[in-house]
Amino acid sequence: MEIIKCVEKSGIIKSYDILVLETFEGGFYIKIRALLTDNTELHIREYSDIDERNYSYHWQDSTGRLLMR
């Protein structure tokens, strides 16, 4: 999956957890929580199938305060 390759190669991601990974014929759904080098968290969701692709990002500080969505 391209999203996992991007996360693994990123220079700003210290560590990450795959919270959900569901695969099915023609698609997948994934949720990732990544800890960044500045100790903020990036939450990533992506859904992809033959007909559609949806994704969202939620970036928060170490106390859970929203930085950007």
| H or E stretch at 60 | strand 53-60
How does pLDDT run across 28-42, given as a tens digit for each residue? 999 999 999 999 999
Whether 5 has a pLDDT exceeding 90, the answer reads yes
Provide the pLDDT for residue 1. 79
How does pLDDT run across 42-59, given as a tens digit for each residue? 999 999 999 999 999 999
- Domain of residue 59, residue span: 2-68
* Cβ 59 vs Cβ 68: under 8 Å: yes
- Split into its structural domains, the chain has a count of 1
Beta strands 66-68 and 27-36 are unpaired
Provide the pLDDT for residue 23. 96
